[in-house]
Each structure stands twice: as C-alpha cells, then as structure tokens.
Amino acid sequence: MLAGSITEVAAALRTKRYSCVEMTRTLLDQIERLNPTLNAFITVDPESALADARRGDAAIAAGSAQPLTGIPIAHKDILATAAMRTTCGSKMLANYASPFDAHVADRLKRAGTVLVGKTNMDEFAMGSSSETSFFGPVRNPWNIAYVPGGSSGGSAAAVSARLVCGSTGTDTGGSIRQPASLSGICGLKPTYGICSRYGLVAFASSLDQAGPFAQTAEDLALLLNAMAGHDPRDSTSLDRPVEDYTRTLAAGRGVRPLSGVRIGLPREYFGAGIDAGVAAAIDEALTELRALGATTVDIALANVRLAVPVYYVIAPAEASSNLSRFDGVRYGHRAASYSDLNDMYEKTRAEGFGAEVKRRILVGTYVLSHGYYDAYYLKAQQVRRLIADDFRRAYQGCDVIAGPTAPTAAFRIGAKTDDPVEMYLNDIFTVAANLTGAPALSIPCGFDRNGLPVGLQLQGDAFTEAMLLDVAHRFQQATDWHKRAPTLAVEARSLPAEGAQ
Amino acid sequence: MNWEVVIGLETHAQLSTASKIFSGSSTAFGAAPNTHASAIDIALPGVLPVLNRGAVERAIRFGLAVGGKISKRSVFARKNYFYPDLPKGYQISQYEIPIVQGGALTIATGRGEKTVRLTRAHLEEDAGKSLHEDLRGMTGIDLNRAGTPLLEIVSEPDLRNAAEAVAYAKTLHALVKWIGICDGNMQEGSFRCDANVSVRPSGETKLGTRCEIKNLNSFRFLEQAIEFEVRRQIELIEDGGTVVQETRLFDPDRHETRSMRSKEDAHDYRYFPDPDLPPLVLDARWIERVAAELPELPEAMKSRFEDKYALPAYDARVLTSSRELAAYFEAVAADLPDRAKLAANWIMGELSAALHKANLEVVDCPVPASALAGLLRRIDDGTISGKTAKEVFDAIWERAARPAVHGAGNGAATRDALSADSIIAQRGLEQISDEGALERIVDEVLAANESVVAEYRSGRQKAFNSLVGKAMQATRGKANPAQVNAILKKKLGA
C-alpha cells in the first residue's frame, strides 16, 4: 500500500480498497522511517495531512470526489503555504509562516489533495544538487551517497521513494526536470505564464515556473490540470481558455501512435561531455520512439551553446533584486546584535544566506551595475532573443525536440560543490526552455552503468504541453522505465507497520 | 561677475486613487501605522504587483493636460537600494521609457508669461515612512504609505530664479488639482517638490554643478531654500571653491540647506525592467476617451474669460486659479449679464477675504452664487451704495455661516434669509436716490453749515468733502453719494 501512481491510488480510493486516512497514515509512517536518511522533507505535518485525508474520505463518501481527491502530495518549500512553514531551504526563513497560500498550492488543495509536508531544496532554488540547503543535503533514493538533483531535490526524492504520489517543484533553469531525471521520475515545466507565480518565492522572475512531479506522464497531466490557470494576482499569468492536458491520452492510436510526430535532434545536444551511459540510454529511447512511429530529424540550434552563460547573467541579476527584501526588517532572520542600520543589514544577510546564494547575489549585482549593465545584462537579454529565434525556426521543421535532460546521471554528494561552474554545467540542456519560456518535461528512459536513472527531455513550442505529455505517455505505454522504483522504496513495501503482524 | 541661476524642479504628486498602485490597500491618509499595508506592500515572500488602472488614467490625463506625448508603450523598472521604508529593497518606477514625455506649463512671472518645458512624467510607487522621534532611540517604520501611486513630474532646467520656481510649482499644483488627479494637500505630503539648483556666469551655456534640495513641503520653503542655495553657491565659487554635486536638505528653522551626510549620493540604482510587470501598452481609444473627458483647462479658460467677460489678464488668471473658483464666478456672472467685472472684483476682493478669514475653500463657501449675484444686482441698480453693500454682504455671510441661529432651515426660507433684498428691507438700507429728497437734504446741510460753505468758497477743496460727509451723515449713509456730489456741485455752482 505504498504510493502508487495517482491514477492507481485514485481508483483504489474510489473503490474503497483503502481510505484516504489509511493511506495517509501509512505514508506518514514511511516518511518517518525514511526521511532521516533521505532528508527529502523539511516539514511534515501529520495532523494537517490527516485533516485533509478526512476531508477526502468525506468527499468520496458524498460522491463528490475529484480526480485528485485524497491524493497525497508534497510542496517544494519555496511555495508559500499557510498550514506549514515556508523556509526555501534557508536559515533566512527557517521559521517563516506565510499568511497566505501560493496560488498553485491553493488550487491543489481545492482539487482535494492531501498535503503531507514541505520538501527540501537548494537554498532559494539556487542549485542543481539540493546540497546547499540550510537543512542539509537531500539524498537520492536510488543511492543515498548520491544527489537527487536540484533545486527541487526533495520533491523529486519524495516521489521517487514512493512517499507521496505527486509533488510540486519550481523550474528556473531545470530545477524540476533535472532532479526528475536524476531521481528516475517524471517532471514538467509548463509554458511560462501557465501556472501562477503568486506565492512562489521569487528566484528569477522571468524564468521561474511551478510544475508537477509524478511517476507517470498521465499523472503529470492530472496535476497540471489542477495547477494551471489564470491568476489575476500575477501580472505575468496568461488568460487563456482552460485546457484538459489529459484530453488525448485515453485514445488508442494503434501500434504506431506517434506517426507523424517529428522529433528534432539538435546536434548541440549530442556532443562531447555526455556520459556514455546516458548517451546509450537516450539512443535506445530514440529507437523506441521511432518504433512508435515518430521520425527524427537533425536540427541546429546555433546559439544554444550560449544558453548557460546567458542564464547565469540573467538569473542572478533578477535574483539579486528579488532577494533584497530579506533584510531582517519585517520578517525572517535578523542578526541578534548590531550597531546601526548597515551593520544590521550586513550581519543579517551574512548570517541568513548560504555561500551559493551570496555568490549569485554578487554576480547579479555586478551585471546590473553602472558601466556593466550594457555589456552583461542587456547583452544577455539580446542573446536570449537569438536563442528563442533559433527554437522558433527549428519548430517549423519538427514538433518536439528531444535529448538528454542532463549530461550525466546522479553524482556523489560533495563531488561538484567545490566548482560552481562545473555544477552550473548540469543545466546545459535545460536552461534554454526557461530562457524561451517554452514547455519541457523529463521522463525516465534507462540507467547508466552505475544503475542510476537517466532522463529523456522532450521540449516543445509554447503551449504544446498536451502534445509533449502525449508523446511521453505513448512511450510509457510501450516501456516500463517509469515503473522502476528504488530498492529503498521497494524494501519499505515489505516492512511491516509498527505493531502489525 | 554676473551670475545666471538655473533651476529645475522634480515634483512628486500623489495620485488620487482609492487604492495603491500595485496593491488593493487603501491610500487614505492618517490611519494607524501599518494598518493599510497588505502582504504585497510589506513585500512578503511570493507576492507580486498588479497595476492600478486608475493610476494610469491619471497619468494619461496629466500628459494630455500639459500637451505631452503619451507613450503608447512604457516600461516599469526596478530602482534598487536598501532602506527600511522600502520593503522590497527596490522601488517600482519607470526609467528609460516613461508614460509621458515632454509637455509644457505656462507661468506668470514679473516680466509676463513664460513657458516652462517638461522633460517627462512617470509612474512610480511611494516608500513608507520612517519615524525617528518618541521611540527611545529606535526608528519606527510605517508602511501605510508604501505603494501609494506617485506621478513624478520633471521640468527642464528652464527656471531662472526662486520666484519663477514658486510660480511653476503653484501652477503645477493648481493644474493637478484642476484635472482631478491629485488632492494637492501639501501638509499630508500629496505634493512634494525637490529643486535642482546650479549657477553659471551670465552668457555661459554649459550648466554648472547642481545640488538637489529635498524636504520642501511648502511654497515658502521652496523659495527660501532656493534663495539660500543660490547665495551659498555663488559665495562658494567667488571664494575660489567648487560646488560639489550632492543632495541637500532644507532646514526650515534656520532657513538654510545642509548636505545630507548619508552615502545616498553614491547610489547606483541598477535599474532594469521589472520582469513582474509586462510593458504598459495603451489602447489609442482609451487615450481618446480620457482626452474627451478632460475638463476645460486653466489656460483655455483664462483666455475664454478674457474674451467672453472682457476681463483683464490678471483677473482671468486669479479667477481660474481653481475650478471651484472659476465655477463660482461663472455662476455669479451668469446671473449678472454684462457686469462680469463687478462680479470679478467682489469675488477677488470681499469674498476671497471672507473665505480666507474663515479658513474656507471656495467649495465650502457658505454664500451661494445666487445670493452674491442678488447683492451685486442691487449695487448695479443703485438700490444700495458700494459701502452699504459690504454691510449687506457681511450679514449674508453671517446668516449663511450659521443657519440654525438665523432660522434659515428649509430651501425657500434659506434663500430668502440669504437674499440681499431681505436684509436691505429689514434694515432699511435702501439708498436714497430720489432727486427731490436729496435736494432738500443738501439744502438743509448747506443752511446748517454756512461756515463750511464759506471755507469752500474761499478755495478749500476739503470743505466740499466735508459737506458731502455731512449729507451722508444726515441720511445715515443712505444717500446715493454720486447724486449728492452732483447736487452739491450744482448748488455751489462748482
């Protein structure tokens, strides 16, 4: 009775194979057993979760169950929630209680989900390994000596370890897709503006998007259905007709369901620097996609090699401004003693922020400063436009762009923390979708030679989420990578509940 | 050495929207600290700004009123700096592309009218307030004001002395009230001016180093500060020193400007377009609608008063100093065709003095326009003299200001109580204009004052006035003085 997929669990709950409360209690036990090892959760609130579960059971009994009623989920600790503290993995907000819920959190609550807790993450979403958290690193359920990816590592690990059915993350440069890839699960970043940013603690405002983690593409679609939609409180939220992201998934399309789908393969995504095991898994995945009827076509994205440097100018710039509000004046950490205002600011921020956050604030301040703005920030925004133009041209000749989500599978905890630039190169395949605002997802497609998961990234033009999910879903109907669970979760399945026989 | 003074003014006008520019909190003044500060205003983690349409509309109105160019597309930018009354650590403003560009204002100076060009006007949010007193050495932060919409209006450095600067500030102040975008309440901080002052040798085209003077919340302080600063800079240069570009505060107690000791001058605000707000794109039809709804503007109305009512420029300017005053005047003038000058004189004179003494604005004037018109009509038709009219005016004012005391309750009764006619009748104030009656009175005066008549005949002009005075006395001031004059002259053969 561990967290199966959303569709499985929803069916079980509706047919009363078990109740929401029973399911939630079991998962809470599991979390209590595994979280000390994985450190996926910063906060778990059993009382609040069980209250949600009771509401779910009542709805099922009343016949008013929704597709996500009773489904246990977790939120990345960067989403504001009134029920539980919101820390962003930082000492700065270690005890911060938000008076309001993030819009997407509120939507998922109204969709009937059970909120189990808030997950661990790189501090203020800055990182690709979930090692910079004030609350300690998150461990990969596939091998606890390895990172789960970042910055949404806790949310990814929680789903990977089958502690929840689904979770939320945020993706600014790949922070949903890369941990999904490294943790062997599915993750999606929607088109910029599809999910409201109200209540997401801002890292880089023009790049941040909330998105779902789950075991299957179909589950991602169910979660996205609940999360997406216009919010007048977010001026960058798009007002578009409501979409059902599951709408094409049920239809049977025969043995070659991907007939007519053209998959673009950028030569820039298949060059040197990719781990051999990753390359092999991706190759196999492409073979499978062709077997399903898709055609592949070589494409060129000439400026995408500049995506990482562009990202590491724009994101820190916006972050340096967004994090200015953490000054010890109105909420959050404030230094215990100080001699004057400037001393208070300096001590508060020196104490409250970790090294990576400070690094990015400094870089961001630098690239915006007088005399450097034109050469760095403005130039980066101009190159961003060139990258977007490349993709726009590419989509004239293909429907989906595929490739590895990350150049390697998971790496050892501590392996890259001494070299920030090496850490940044984890993002080479993911950042472009944030720069262009386009949707992208990652699904498991194999393992490397160390037995660690490999992720296949699918990207599309704006508003093509439903199509991407369909391609992923068809792949998952023909393969079973997404059904593989780490031993740690499988073993837990056979662990008896305390006191039970 | 002859010096030329160069002044530019930056004015922050608080826009009269009910809620803030990026949040729904109230902008009402005077609330208990931090009771009008929402999650957005306090910059809690995760909040986002949403633009207030009313603020944009007021900015458009201003741009049209000054003949500026309304930018079809303008951009909000973040101005980054740390201060406790700036919750986000940045102010949302507009930098490279403001909503209004250019424009001009006409001001009245000692040497006639002058056109002052505007550089731009842009939307931005106000910061909160820091209170340093009564807090046992600590500083209190009140965020009620944080997020209030401001229109920052920047003039070109076209002003040449303190008087011009004050004239510009007053004209601008009147205009923003006129078009209904700002209540202009300077005590509450709704209208604040900073002055940029520099000097240069006469004939020099290059600008001298300027200093910015802040904390000027009255026209008087604006004038004093500029005058002090000009003297300071000239003396400094003449003594061989150089003016340092800096921000200075005006000390209203000592009437001098002082350098601000903070490091504010070194600020690099690191402006960049705010990614939380899309560029502001304005629909041409919206701008047209705002233009159509603009009231007649002060300059246009002034010209119309000069034409329609044959008023001199000075009168027209005074009467168009506010919409309320202009409306009052036109209401009186409508009731008094062809005697607009009489109405103008009384409104600029007696009425304004009475309002000033009672500390009232024209909008709260207790005397209805119709009542004043009624009074002026009785002067015009000779029922009462100008002198008596003042007494009647005071009586009307007294009754209007305290209706309960004078039993003026319902409409008709009030109208009657406030009418000049009722007061003239009750007090028997009609001027004596009957030629025959006046002749008899003059005869009596002449008979009773033979010595004065003799004085007059011996060349003392003042004796004539004395006789007029006696005639007025004899009638308790009710004789028509012009007629008395004429009759006396006739009888004395003068």
Q: For chain A, how many residues are written?
A: 501
CA distance A295 to chain B (A): 38
- Answer yes or no: is B366 within a domain: no
**What does the alpha-carbon distance between residue B48 and residue A102 come to, in Å, rounded to a whole number?**
11
User: Mutation test of the interface with chain B: which of A123, A172, A325, choosing the one with the most B Cβ atoms within 10 A?
Assistant: A325
The stretch A452-481 carries a mean pLDDT of: 98
| pLDDT average, residue stretch B317-345 | 94
Mean pLDDT value across residues B360-376: 93
Beta carbon pairs, A and B, within 8 Å: 93
Q: Look at A222 and B460; give whichever has higher pLDDT.
A: A222
Q: Are A394 and A266 in contact (CB under 8 A)?
A: yes
Does residue A1 carry a pLDDT above 70? no
List A128, A175, A320, A442, catalytic entry? A175
Contacts of B140 (CB under 8 A, 6+ apart): B33, B130, B131, B132
**Residue-averaged pLDDT of chain A:** 95
Q: Which of B168, B174, B171, B173 is nearest to B223 (CA)?
A: B168
Residue A324 and residue B88: Cβ atoms within 8 Å?
Answer: yes
Question: How far is the alpha carbon of B68 from chain A, nearest alpha carbon, in Å?
Answer: 28
Q: A369 vs B268: CB contact, 8 Å cut-off?
A: yes
Tokens 């794109």, residue located? B281
pLDDT attached to residue B419: 87
B374 occurs within a structural domain: no
pLDDT band at B461 (very low <50, low <70, confident <90, very high): confident
For tokens 């979770």, the residue is A167
Residues B75-110 have pLDDT tens digits of 999 999 999 999 999 999 999 999 999 999 999 998
pLDDT exceeds cutoff 90 at A8: yes
User: Cβ–Cβ of B39/A100 closer than 8 Å?
Assistant: yes
Grouping H, G, I as helix, E, B as strand and the rest as coil, residue B198 is strand
B270–chain A Cβ distance below 8 A for any pair:
yes
* Catalytic site includes residue A76: yes
Task: Give the number of other Cβ atoms within 10 Å of residue A436's Cβ.
Answer: 24
| Higher pLDDT, residue B231 or A421 | B231
Q: Is the model's pLDDT at A366 over the cut of 90?
A: yes
- B378-405 pLDDT, tens digit per residue, is 998 888 888 889 989 999 998 888 766 6
Residue type, A10: A
CB nearest to B88's CB, from A198, A235, A325: A325
Ramachandran category for residue B441: left, alpha or beta (phi over 0 → left; psi -120 to 50 → alpha): alpha
The listed CATH number (3.40.50.10860, 1.20.1440.230, 1.10.10.10, 3.90.1300.10) that belongs to domain A6-241+254-260+468-494: 3.90.1300.10
Query: From the CA of B318, how many Å to the nearest CA of chain A?
Result: 45
Q: Which residue, of B253, B285, B317, is where some domain finishes?
A: B285
Q: What are the beta bridge partners of residue A444?
A: A455
Q: In the prediction, which pLDDT does A423 show?
A: 87
Beta strands at B211-216 and B247-251: parallel, antiparallel or unpaired: parallel
The torsion angles phi and psi of B479, rounded to 5 degrees, stand at: -70, 145
Per-residue pLDDT band at B493 (split at 50, 70, 90):
confident
Q: Residue B407's pLDDT is what? A: 54
- Answer whether residue B172 is part of any domain: yes
Cβ of B48 within 8 Å of Cβ of A234? The answer is yes
Q: What is the pLDDT of residue B84?
A: 96
Question: pLDDT digit string (tens) for A382-419?
Answer: 999 999 999 999 999 999 999 999 999 999 999 998 88
Q: Give counts: helices (H), strands (E), chain B.
A: 18, 17
A341 contacts B272? CB cut-off 8 A: no
From the candidates A5, A76, A109, A442, give the one annotated as an active-site residue: A76
Cα dihedral A350, A353, A355, A360 sign: negative
Judged against a pLDDT cut of 70, whether residue A432 lies above it is answered with: yes
Residue B275 to residue A236, Cβ atoms within 8 A: yes
Provide, as residue numbers in chain A, all residues whose Cβ is less than 8 Å from the Cβ of B80: 321, 324, 368
**Distance in angstroms (rounded) separating the CA atoms of residues A390 and A225:** 30
Interface probe with B: pick from A87, A88, A321, A340, most Cβ of B within 10 Å: A321
User: Structure tokens of B208?
Assistant: 């001298």
Residues A197, B45: C-beta atoms closer than 8 Å: no
CATH number at residue B476: 1.10.10.410
Cβ-contact A150, A128 below 8 angstroms: yes
* pLDDT for B387: 82
Domain boundary at B285, B315, B350, which? B285
Mean pLDDT computed over B196-224:
93
Q: What is the pTM of this model?
A: 0.91
pLDDT at B494: 62
Using CB atoms, which residue from B89, B271, B277 is nearest to A324?
A: B89
Confidence of residue B255 (pLDDT cuts 50, 70, 90): confident
- How many domains, chain B? 2
Q: For B410-445, how does the pLDDT look when each residue is reduced to its tens digit (9 = 90+)?
A: 666 677 878 888 888 888 888 888 888 889 988 998
Of A5, A151, A152, A181, which is the active-site residue? A151
pLDDT, position B120: 98
User: Hey, what are A128's tokens?
Assistant: 């690709």
pLDDT digits (tens, 9 = 90+) for A240-271: 999 999 999 999 999 999 999 999 999 999 98
Q: Which residues of B256-292 are buried (b: 16+ CB within 10 A; e: fewer)?
A: bbeeeeeeeeeeebbbbbbbbbeebebeeeebeebee
A498 — pLDDT class (breaks 50, 70, 90): very low
Provide the β-strand partners of residue A200.
A79
Q: According to the model, what pLDDT value does residue A500 have?
A: 37
Domain that holds residue B65: 3-285
Structure tokens at B149: 């919409």
B407 within some domain: no
Q: For this structure, is A175 an active site residue? A: yes
| CB atoms inside a 10 Å sphere around CB A349 | 21
Chain B nearest C-alpha distance from A233 (Å): 6
Say which of A201, A330, A341 has its CB closest to residue B46. Answer: A201
Helix axes A20-38, A46-62, angle to 10 degrees: 150
Local confidence band at A496 (pLDDT 50, 70, 90 cut-offs)? very low
Range name among B33-42, B264-273, B340-349 with the lowest pLDDT average:
B264-273
B439 belongs to a structural domain: yes
Residue B450 lies in a domain: yes
Token digits for A332? 């959050």
Percent of chain B with pLDDT over 70: 96
In percent, how much of chain B has pLDDT > 90?
A: 70
Q: How close B145 comes to chain A (CA, Å)?
A: 16
- Over 60: is that where the pLDDT of A483 sits? yes
CB-nearest to A236 from B45, B46, B276 is B276
Angstroms from B83 CA to nearest CA on chain A: 9
> Which of B285, B315, B349 is the C-terminal boundary of a domain?
B285
Question: What percentage of chain A has pLDDT greater than the value 90?
Answer: 94
User: For A46-71, what is the mean pLDDT?
Assistant: 97
Q: For A100, name the nearest residue in chain B, comparing CA atoms only.
A: B39
Is A497 a residue whose pLDDT tops 50? no
Task: Please indicate whether residue A444 or residue B488 has the higher confidence score (pLDDT).
Answer: A444
Query: Which chain A residues touch B270 with a CB distance below 8 Å?
Result: 321, 365, 368-370, 373
Whether A318 sits inside 8 A of B275 (CB atoms) is yes
